[in-house]
Structure 1
Amino acid sequence: MPVPNEHAAAPTRSNAFIRGVSMISTLCGWFASFLIVLSVGVTCEMIYVRAILNESTIWQTEAVVYMMISATLLGLPYVQRLRGHVNVDLLPMALSPKARRVLILATLAATIVIIALMLFYGFHQWHEAWSRNWRSDSVWGVRLWIPYLAVPIGFGLYLLQLIADFYAVAAGYDSHYGISGH
């Protein structure tokens, strides 16, 4: 995915923490892409089994749903690293660099709090599924802690990327929205 402009992706050369988180986020992006390709393959296999072999399918639909949800959650840190989430920069561009910096830090701080809450409740849901051995109601009967694991991992890694972004802006490493960096 191409970076829209020179300031879009978080800087990676200046700091070991930022560089490490950036590497983890990139690996998440690759894994999310793999899950999407795999789910397309499973969908094609399901169509072949149903249409050509005229047999029923048991696990394919459920597996594709879980893979796509996992790809979405595990892709969050990569999209954040590339600054690919939807944003409207009309207000930030109208502000002075100092006011932009305050707005970016406030927005990142609010996002960190919300994602931390989602991580907490996502971990709780995963732990309940694991400790109570929850299974899906389908014929496949997958143990739900396996697909639910993508929730705390995805939000945890997204939170880590947000913290790295906050640190990069606060320490002056990031020149996002025209704020001067190192």
Structure 2
Amino acid sequence: MFLASTVIMLNEAFGRALLNTSYFWAEETVRYLMVWAFFLTVGAAGSAGYHIRTELLVERLGKRWRQLCHFLSSAIGLSFSAILFYASFPQIYRYYTMGMMTESNLDIPLWVLFLAMPIGAVLYFIYYFSCLWRTLKGEDPFAGGTPIKIDF
């Protein structure tokens, strides 16, 4: 989706600069592609170890306190993703009942575009549930993938 939005943006830029023409659907398409890309990758980024992780305090704690911090982080993440999922439905329902469509000639129902939010929330919930599960097994749940380390 990011690659598609980049191609559309470049096409729009070249069209304006060289052909003196603009595609009014391009900006809207790029906006929705970026929203979908964000919500679909937020859980995957955590699983790959690409979320920001501050370890200064947690590394200095004992094993029990560290596990408690991991448990609390996972529980808060689960709560956030559940709230995000729950909060997305009134908006989707409103767009569905009003029959709102996109502004351009794409004529896509807005409720379809806003489905990215509950789908992303479910993926985020799955990520934090797996973190909670790994915490209960005694593992470090946020050490997945190969995170970037900065040493001073």
TM-score if structure 1 supplies the norm length?
A: 0.72
- Is residue 151 of structure 1 aligned with residue 117 of structure 2? yes
How far apart, CA to CA, are the structure 1 residues paired with 2:96 and 2:114?
A: 9
The count of corresponding residues between Structure 1 and Structure 2 is: 142
Aligned to 1:119: 85
Partner of 1:57: 23
State percent identity of aligned pairs: 23
* Cα shift readout 1:136-166 (whole Å, capped 9, x = no counterpart): 3x33354211220111101111111111111
Q: Is the 8 A contact 1:93 1:177 kept in 2?
A: no
Over residues 13-58 of structure 1, what are the superposed CA-to-partner deviations in whole Å (9 max), with x where a residue is unaligned? xxxxxxxxxxxxxxxxxxxxxx000100111111122222211211
Could you tell me which runs of 5 or more consecutive residues in structure 2 were left unpaired when the two chains were aligned.
Answer: 144-152
TM-score by length of 2: 0.85
Please show how residues 6-45 of structure 1 align to structure 2 within 5 Å: 35-45=1-11
Contact 2:43/2:123 (8 A) holds in 1: yes
Structure 1 residue runs without a partner (length 5+): 1-34
CA RMSD across the alignment: 1.8
List 4+ stretches of structure 1 deviating above 4 A. Answer: none
2:66 aligns to what? 100
> Secondary structure of 1:42's partner?
helix
- 1:161-180 matches, cutoff 5 A: 161-172=127-138, 174-176=139-141
State the distance in 2 between where 1:109 and 1:154 align.
Answer: 17
Displacement of 1:96 after TM fit?
0.5
Matched residue type, 2:104: V
Give the secondary structure class of the aligned counterpart of 1:98. helix
Say whether the 8 Å CA contact 2:132–2:141 is kept in structure 1.
no
- Which amino acid is the alignment partner of residue 120 of structure 2? G
Relative distance call for 1:44 and 1:171 in structure 2 (3 A) is same
- Per-residue Cα deviation, 1:69-97 (whole angstroms, up to 9, x for no partner): 11111111111102211121111111001
Match of 2:34 among 68, 78, 82: 68
Q: Matches of residues 77-92 of structure 1 in structure 2 within 5 Å?
A: 77-92=43-58
